[in-house]
Amino acid sequence: MKENIEDYRRDGLINLDEYLKNNPSNFTYPYYINGYDENNFWTRVAKEDEEKFIYVKPRNGEYKDMQFNVYSELVYEELLKQVGIKCVSFDIAQYDGCYTTISENMLDSYPQNEFIINSTELLESRKYPSMVNEYDIEDLYDAIDEYCRCEYIGNDVSKKCIRDIQKTLVADIFALSTDRDVKDYDFIAGIDYDGAEVLELAPLCHNTYALGSNFTDDEIYEMLDNEDMLADRLDYCHFDAGVPEYKRDYNNPYWEDTLYYLMDEDEENYRFAKECAYSMDIEKAIYNVENKINAKIPSTYKLFMDEVFKNRLQRICECIGLDYYKVIDSKELEQEMEEI
């Protein structure tokens, strides 16, 4: 049995370099994007008295100037927990001398006869595939409906799957997760414990750009010194959700287009947006992450995440007709009650 990986945590970081040196493990399942072999990999480690696979995303050239990036996925995970959305469990490690994120296998808690289907597979295997390379969210809805029909899965399963996707989009808007598009969803498929065919949204794992982590460290310092710049940069971040072009006010997809589109689709999405406004608590999320890693997040990035989240929250409140200051007051009152 390998050593417990938690025994290698130092100042919040799991020293994966040292762990793998003392507990050799073969890397497996290289990650491919459009035929390109990423340096991400799976490896087996001992954790919580059992051996399990973890997914390692080493820092590469894209993230070299983003030292704070590794914390955003953990805080994002905590925000999603607050509104009941499943997310893969993330942690922070040191690998190849750099900070990196690691995550657990999303299938660990599912039956052996269930497997992962990526949304790209669903989109490209449709009976009538799209004639363009760019898919929108309605293409994904159609692909889910078609898969369920072909596998004799009930219409209620298809509807819930689509509803869950819509909720993730709303949550992404609040957490400024800009990088997810319709090809970035995974689904649990196969046969569940009761012997029924299933298709459900898998815990989210493609959360690299959230809470302003798409900015370089220098940009973060600059925006903290200039509130107007921060507001402008956040408003004009693309939101790659894939809203149909006929629903956009701009050529590029921005978060307002997606939010209005979702609220026009169904009143339940509006109610969920209100729930996110009142229930998502950035300070609590940061506190929980620091408890998880037993260390403090760098104060600069904590301040930046707080500014980013509250700026976006205020803008969303304007869009959906909520009083921002009442929302903030309710969070502060809830925190005071918890302390009492």
Domains held by the chain: number:
1
DSSP three-state, residue 212 = coil
Instruction: Kindly report the pTM of this predicted structure.
Output: 0.87
Would residue 125 count as lying in a domain?
Answer: no
Q: What is the domain range of residue 29?
A: 5-104
- How many C-beta atoms lie closer than 10 Å to residue 277's C-beta? 21
Would residue 84 count as lying in a domain?
Answer: yes
Q: What is the pLDDT of residue 335?
A: 67
Nearest to 4 by CA among 52, 53, 47: 47
Q: What is the pLDDT of residue 211?
A: 86
Name residues whose C-beta falls within 8 Å of residue 104's C-beta, 6 or more positions apart in sequence.
52, 53, 54, 55, 88, 89
Would residue 140 count as lying in a domain?
Answer: no
pLDDT (tens, 9 = 90+) of the chain, 340 residues, equals: 678 888 999 888 899 999 988 988 766 655 544 444 467 788 888 887 788 888 888 765 555 545 677 888 899 999 999 999 998 888 889 888 888 888 887 776 666 788 888 888 888 887 665 555 678 899 999 999 999 998 888 899 999 999 999 999 999 999 988 878 888 899 988 887 777 788 899 988 776 678 888 788 888 888 888 888 888 888 777 777 778 888 777 766 688 888 988 988 788 999 999 999 999 999 999 999 999 988 898 888 899 999 989 989 999 999 899 999 998 888 766 665 565 5
Give the CATH number, domain containing residue 39. Answer: 3.30.200
Would residue 171 count as lying in a domain?
Answer: no
Would residue 61 count as lying in a domain?
Answer: yes
Rounded CA separation 140/244 (Å)? 11
Would residue 22 count as lying in a domain?
Answer: yes
Rounded CA separation 119/140 (Å)? 7
Would residue 260 count as lying in a domain?
Answer: no
Structure tokens at 288: 């929980």
Would residue 33 count as lying in a domain?
Answer: yes
Q: What is the pLDDT of residue 36?
A: 45
